[in-house]
Structure 1
Amino acid sequence: MSDGVFSILAVCTANICRSPLMEILLRARLDETRFEVASAGVRGWDRKPMDPAAAAELTRLGHSADSFESHPISSRLVTSADLVLTATREHRSAVLALTPQALRRSFTLVEFAELTDLVDAPDPRALVAEAAMRRSLAPADADVKDPYRRGPDVHRATADQIDAAVTRIADRLNALVATPQDAP
């Protein structure tokens, strides 16, 4: 991932449902000149399209999965990320088993969304550091349910949960990098 740009890695199981939703929604909502986003799966498939039901939810939210291809996680991806957002605590544990030094920059999506409302910082990297120090303030139930091979109602609930958390995170990160000329 590029120097000077804040990089985010979204992680789930196979990188075909939750983490692609996280990646594509974050990429759409963040300032592309200041942020870059990738995704991977802890048991990820290589170059597979998004799950059709998850892709349908992404379309419902106004985005396309047409160019998406899945990727397995690697220590290089984790090491290069300024922030790692996982779907569940189990995924976070898998990230840390691969790259233990990522502890202070790895959170579940829901956990980090909650923490961004509770901590203050002057920039994205400081926000991640402050969130890591205040992790105990995050909710205990911070997992995003796996919708794979489940009904449309589960896919919709999962997509809506991801969308809400991504919106909170993107709004906060964009505000931290906004310059005076960006203001209306």
Structure 2
Amino acid sequence: MHIMFVCTGNICRSPMGELLLARYLANTTVRVSSAGTRGLPMHQIDPSSARLMDSVGINSSGFRSRRLTRQMAEESDLILCFEASQRKDIVTLAPAAVRYTFLLNDFANMCEYCAKNGLVKGLTIQERLRSVIDASSMIRPMLPAPGDIEDPHGKEFAKFRKAADQTNQAIRTMLTSMRKHYRVDAAPVRQQITRQDFASAW
């Protein structure tokens, strides 16, 4: 399974999503990547995002940004973005991706709803995430309208911290909701990222 995070420039929010989820799923075969709808290729992660990742033990020095292409979108199994406008850009570029492209907060809510209502199916994390994707059109009317995760680019560090915390919270909601037959392996201290880690590190 290939999960891709997409933001605008692929230097602030989507790199943090990629690096965080990749850490959580390090012991699985899930592939995690990121791109930007207007990303400039080969840029380093924003220094503030890098500082946040470094503070929880994630080395982001090798990260380089990418511009989203139709092929990238079509080769993904799940695309998670941060703003409604980004979702529109993604499905305009790759119409077939509309079935598996979601705002991050929206998909986290879907995972939680499916877990609470016995709709999560399968034994592996891949199967269970796909079951949520398959149920998404049916459950969408039951869920609140999702909120954007604000772009912190060019803003004070507190905005980056807020975006990282919201991203991490949504990812943890997703993974916790998938745990009936699947458990994210505990990592060594300082590698298992929690909201408490963020609060203390920042």
TM over 0.5: yes
Partner residue of 2:120? 121
Deviation at 1:55, TM superposition (A): 1.1
- Contact 2:45/2:65 (8 A) holds in 1: yes
Partner residue of 2:182? 178
Superposed, 1:131-170 pairs within 5 Å as 131-170=136-175
Partner residue of 1:3? none
Take 1:104 and 1:37, find their aligned partners in 2: how far apart are those partners? Answer: 18
- The verdict on how the C-alpha distance between 1:132 and 1:29 changes in structure 2, with shifts beyond 3 A counting, is farther
Q: Is residue 56 of structure 2 the alignment partner of residue 61 of structure 1? A: yes
- Contact 1:46/1:70 (8 A) holds in 2: yes
Please identify, of 128-137 and 139-148, the stretch whose mean Cα deviation from structure 2 is larger: 128-137
Alignment partner of 2:99: what SS? helix
Cα deviation code 1:3-56 (max 9, x no counterpart): xxx110100000000000000001111154331111000001101100001111
- Contact 1:58/1:64 (8 A) holds in 2: yes
Take 2:155 and 2:9, find their aligned partners in 1: how far apart are those partners? Answer: 15
- Structure 1 unaligned blocks of 5 or more: 1-5
Take 1:39 and 1:130, find their aligned partners in 2: how far apart are those partners? Answer: 24
TM-score, length of structure 1 as denominator length? 0.87
- Contact 2:110/2:132 (8 A) holds in 1: no
Superposed, 1:6-155 pairs within 5 Å as 6-119=1-114, 120-122=119-121, 123-155=128-160
Take 1:168 and 1:81, find their aligned partners in 2: how far apart are those partners? Answer: 21
Take 2:129 and 2:26, find their aligned partners in 1: how far apart are those partners? Answer: 12
Aligned AA for 1:17? C
TM-score, length of structure 2 as denominator length? 0.80
Aligned AA for 1:58? M
Take 2:137 and 2:5, find their aligned partners in 1: how far apart are those partners? Answer: 17
Alignment partner of 2:80: what SS? strand
- Contact 1:26/1:170 (8 A) holds in 2: no
Aligned AA for 2:85? E
Take 1:84 and 1:138, find their aligned partners in 2: how far apart are those partners? Answer: 19
- Structure 2 unaligned blocks of 5 or more: 122-127, 186-202
- The verdict on how the C-alpha distance between 1:18 and 1:53 changes in structure 2, with shifts beyond 3 A counting, is same
- Contact 2:73/2:97 (8 A) holds in 1: yes
- The verdict on how the C-alpha distance between 1:63 and 1:31 changes in structure 2, with shifts beyond 3 A counting, is closer
Take 1:13 and 1:32, find their aligned partners in 2: how far apart are those partners? Answer: 29
Alignment partner of 1:134: what SS? helix
Aligned AA for 2:30? F
